[in-house]
């Protein structure tokens, strides 16, 4: 089935289901990535990904690995749907007379998709990072606390200026993503949820510029003929390779984004006024290698995430649902 024949509602369903399945499978690795990226020299709590996951399970229980997953599962559907649908939209309008796109136009379509998705990605990442990083801060203070399966322990000054002063309160309290969002909206308004927007654009636009053209060309190699679709296993392989390659390529931007969006700071952790200030301080105090923190974890997260997304997309789960339910009225 050609991409132009897939209706928009089907694209949205495919992207949403793929996002939910993918996030459920790889979220613990994403949590490890966030905690590793936020570590500073001399304050390492975790040695590597496996050490992070083991310590997380010991101190927070099995569900500690899924802190912030509810935020992702809620918002990943519109995020992935927008990303995939926007890329197809731009590809369709950039194509002339049904001819294939040049690599430049494929990159341009990916750029457009990346710019569209940050509407959802930025607040999603903002909330998720606060929940994911709380366990690292607790461990850094050497005050391990067993967290409940449904709530996250964080410091008292969730959204106060103590986040930006480096101060850490000693008395923990339970905080949910909803509470964080409400306090951000009350104290800073909508811009509070979009802190780190510039860094998110720096990460997601280049990611899409690399990912979509690379996937399209890899996937084309697996097609038996120009008119037919590639097998599902080839779509999965292409998604994994393109996703992991793009993820590692933009990892420095992801480190900067994570640092900027982390509201709560541990003792002696730097405060960043913006992207340039963050890059400068990381280079001065931690060296260039700091920009590769969590790169392996990110590749392990993105590879299956986009592999699963492309399989769902090309198998046509959305089309099946639309054809066999009252939702078929949405399809032209």
Domain count within the chain: 1
Q: What average pLDDT does the structure give for the chain?
A: 81
Say whether pLDDT at 125 is over 60.
Answer: yes
Neighbours of 32 (CB within 10 A): 27
CB contact set of 298 (below 8 Å; sequence gap of 6+): 33, 247, 248, 251, 254
Give domain status of residue 314, yes or no.
yes
Give domain status of residue 83, yes or no.
yes
Give domain status of residue 166, yes or no.
no
CB contact set of 45 (below 8 Å; sequence gap of 6+): 35, 39, 52, 55, 136, 139, 140
Say whether pLDDT at 199 is over 80.
Answer: yes
Give domain status of residue 151, yes or no.
no
Containing domain of residue 96, as a range? 8-40+48-137+175-323
Average pLDDT over residues 284-313: 87
- The top-scoring range by mean pLDDT among 36-45, 96-105, 173-182, 209-218 is 209-218
pTM for the model: 0.79
Task: For residue 300, give both structure tokens.
Answer: 């392990």
Q: Lowest-confidence range among 15-24, 178-187, 234-243, 317-326?
A: 317-326
Q: Are strands 152-155 and 172-175 parallel, antiparallel or unpaired?
A: antiparallel
Residue 33 pLDDT: 93
HEC letters along 38-85: HCCCCCCCCCCHHHHHHHHHHHHCHHHHHCCHHHHHHHHHHHHHHHHH
Residue 328 pLDDT: 58
**31 torsion bin: left (phi>0), alpha (psi -120 to 50), beta (else):** alpha
Give domain status of residue 165, yes or no.
no
Give domain status of residue 194, yes or no.
yes
Q: Quick one: CA dihedral 15, 20, 21, 23, positive or negative?
A: positive
Residue 137 pLDDT: 82
- The CATH number of whichever domain residue 207 belongs to comes to 1.50.40.10
CB contact set of 269 (below 8 Å; sequence gap of 6+): 40, 43, 166
Instruction: pLDDT band for 203, please (50, 70, 90 cuts).
Output: very high
Give domain status of residue 331, yes or no.
no
Residue 150 pLDDT: 42
Residue 223 pLDDT: 85
Give domain status of residue 155, yes or no.
no
Say whether pLDDT at 136 is over 90.
Answer: no
Q: Lowest-confidence range among 8-17, 157-166, 181-190, 274-283?
A: 157-166
């Amino acid at each position: 089935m050609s991409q132009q024949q897939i209706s928009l509602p089907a694209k949205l369903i495919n992207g949403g289901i793929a996002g939910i399945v993918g996030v459920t499978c790889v979220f613990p690795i994403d949590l490890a990535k966030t905690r590793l990226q936020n570590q500073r020299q001399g304050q390492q709590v975790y040695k590597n990904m496996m050490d992070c996951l083991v310590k997380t399970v010991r101190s927070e229980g099995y569900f500690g690995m899924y802190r912030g997953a509810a935020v992702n599962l809620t918002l990943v559907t519109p995020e992935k749907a927008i990303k995939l649908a926007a890329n197809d939209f731009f590809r369709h309008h950039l194509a002339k007379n049904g001819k294939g796109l040049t690599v430049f136009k494929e990159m341009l379509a990916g750029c457009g998709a990346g710019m569209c998705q940050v509407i959802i990605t930025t607040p999603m990442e903002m909330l998720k990072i606060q929940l994911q990083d709380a366990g690292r801060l607790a461990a850094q203070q050497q005050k391990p606390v067993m967290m409940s399966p449904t709530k996250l322990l964080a410091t008292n000054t969730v959204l106060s200026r103590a986040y930006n002063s480096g101060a850490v309160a000693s008395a923990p309290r339970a905080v949910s993503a909803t509470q964080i969002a409400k306090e951000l909206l009350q104290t800073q308004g909508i811009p509070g949820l979009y802190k780190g927007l510039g860094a998110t654009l720096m990460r997601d636009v280049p990611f899409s510029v690399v990912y979509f053209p690379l996937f399209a060309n890899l996937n084309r190699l697996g097609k038996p003929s120009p008119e037919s679709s590639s097998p599902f296993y080839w779509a999965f392989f292409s998604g994994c390779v393109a996703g992991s390659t793009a993820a590692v390529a933009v990892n420095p931007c992801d480190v900067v984004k994570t640092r900027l969006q982390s509201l709560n700071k541990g003792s002696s952790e730097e405060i960043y006024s913006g992207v340039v200030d963050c890059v400068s301080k990381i280079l001065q105090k931690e060296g260039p290698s700091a920009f590769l923190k969590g790169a392996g974890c990110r590749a392990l997260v993105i590879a299956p995430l986009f592999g699963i997304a492309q399989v769902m997309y090309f198998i046509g789960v959305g089309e099946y649902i639309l054809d066999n339910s009252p939702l078929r009225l949405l399809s032209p």
